[in-house]
Structure 1
Amino acid sequence: MADLNGRKALVTGAAQGLGEGMARALAAAGAKVVVADLQDDLGAKVAESLGDGHGSVHLDVTDDTAWETAVGQATDLLGGLDILVNNAGIEITSLLIDLDADKARKQLEVNLLGTALGIKHAFRAMRGSGGGVVINVASVAATIAFPGIGVYSATKSGVDRLTRVAAMESGKLGYGVRVNCIYPGLVPTAMGAGLANDVARIGLFGSPEEAVGAVVGLTPSGRLGEVADMASAVVFLASDEASFINGVGLPVDGGMGM
């Protein structure tokens, strides 16, 4: 595993699922981690389980002021910040013909605006301090046309574009912050299981099991992803081993999106 000793990381949506796995992997690699989430009790439990030197903060990623507060708290706790993982996200399944504007707007705010605000505050915290790393979590949905997740797919495509523009701005303005994203495949977390149930519920598949089978059938590696697969990719991109990797999207999808 890459050596992240001395690094200071903030992971959003880290109270459960992929974010929790990423926080644990970063800590195992030596980083000090702040868990950021709306779920204060769960976030605090994850941070406590990581051991001394880690912590948690409340964060609504759609709120600019909340970002400023959370990054300030994390920086005070850790003595700086050089890794941000923009993981927080939501997925609301819907056929486009049944699109609900409020639910679509919520996905745009959490997935796209939340990531953009994270980049903003990471840049402000990291510029002039020797640089850092931002890792955004997009999705294989940004690269394939899977039915029932049109708005979610659009937001994750937007995360990809934000990543590339942010990397270019950081370079042009001398911030010294690398910005990359990963494209996770389907992982059987609560969100992944919910998607399988939802696409069956709206009639795209006969059952959740059929939906999962369809995803596996589209995946050359022949299986679903695991939390550890995504977490390992984040640790790699945060490490010096990835020091010349910048402005790219790394598929961690078993080949599904190729």
Structure 2
Amino acid sequence: MSSDDDTPTDSWPALTDTFFTWGDEEPAPYLPRPVEPAAAASPALVDVVRKPAPARRLPPWPFPIVAAAVAAAVTVISLIAWWALSGSGPQSDPAQASTAPTTDPSPAATPTPPSQSQAREFDNRLMALLPAGYPPGACRQAAPPPAALSMVECGANADAPGTSARYTLFADAQPLAEAMAQLIEGMTTQICPGNYASPGPWRKTATPEIPAGTLVCGTTRQGTPAVGWTLDSAMLLAAIEGTRLDQLYTWWSTHS
């Protein structure tokens, strides 16, 4: 250190633990100025990004139902448009429609009854078809069914005592077959004597390969033995009743 310095050379007074000031007043401890606490730091600002609300889920689109509804609507609209367009086309004149002739439905055709000359012709034709053995007066005319041309009812044949028979003439095969089916329905059928099918076809001895008609054996609803047959070539239906089926069949086999 240089001698020119103004630095005092005396020693500094010793300090106590408490720092005092010098003056007229009693020394008082020097209290350091309270330091006001710094204001609480403002909270840091944070850019808050609001969390988006969850998207609202719509119910599943009912595509099949809506598609069906749309298709139905399109169909209805198309029908309405078609109806409107067709209604706008040319229409018939009401006056002409009112003057068009009308016809009443004709009733079901009924067979015209034959004239007297035709009836006699049918009766004669039927009488010519009767089996041999009927004495004069044994057969008489009867009212034929609607589809028949003529019918006769006969008493006993000379070769078949105690019998009665009915013969009916038809115009064609269909009413003949229907009448035969009705006859069979009214009988209790059974095998014909000689073990022949009943009902079944029968044949003439001269032409065994050609069925001549249908044969049925049995009893009537009253229990009377009976034999019925058709002769298709003549449009004839015949039925004979008696006391014994075997005798009726024997007579038929020689007189048919």
Structure 2-normalised TM-score? Answer: 0.20
Bigger share in helix: 1
Bigger radius of gyration, 1 or 2? 2
Bigger share in strand: 2
Structure 1-normalised TM-score? Answer: 0.20
Higher RCO (CA 8 Å, separation ≥ 6 residues): 1
